[in-house]
Amino acid sequence: MLIGIRWKRVILAAVLSEAGVIAVLLTVVAIYSSVIAPDLSDAEYQRLGERVGYYVAPAAGAVTTFLMVLWLGRKLDARYVAHGLWVGLVSVILTVGFMVTARSEDRLMYGVAFVLRIVAGYLGGLTAQRRFGEPAAHGRRLAT
């Protein structure tokens, strides 16, 4: 499963997926703090950031992982699903340190986020294979 993997692209896609999560979180906090509730105290903004991270980051991680696997898949000619799974796994490895330092009540959500990233990598690989891979042989006549 390790042979034939384009590791530089896998690592780049995983790093970009994490950068995408950070961009989403910063955007949500910026919009909320400037448009929805501009008059919060610093402590309230701190709690807002924690809540946004808790509720938005898992979904954002899944979406950005999926999108990065599609990006990666454009240049592949085989092993789409394996590449997608590796992007999901590497993105989990990049963020697993946060789980160690997280509050105990937040660890379940980290586990959920990790599973979502791996599933998104798998689904991204399947989607990339359908979009960019060779057409399936279904319905073709075999030469006799």
Cα–Cα nearest to 2, from 81, 86, 66: 86
- Mark the ranges of the chain whose per-residue pLDDT is less than 50: 137-142, 144
The Cα 133–Cα 73 span in angstroms is 9
Going from N- to C-terminal start, the domains of the chain cover: 11-132
Q: For position 5, what pLDDT does the model report?
A: 85
Q: For position 20, what pLDDT does the model report?
A: 96
Q: For position 1, what pLDDT does the model report?
A: 59
Is residue 61 within 8 Å of 93, Cβ to Cβ? Answer: no
Q: For position 139, what pLDDT does the model report?
A: 46
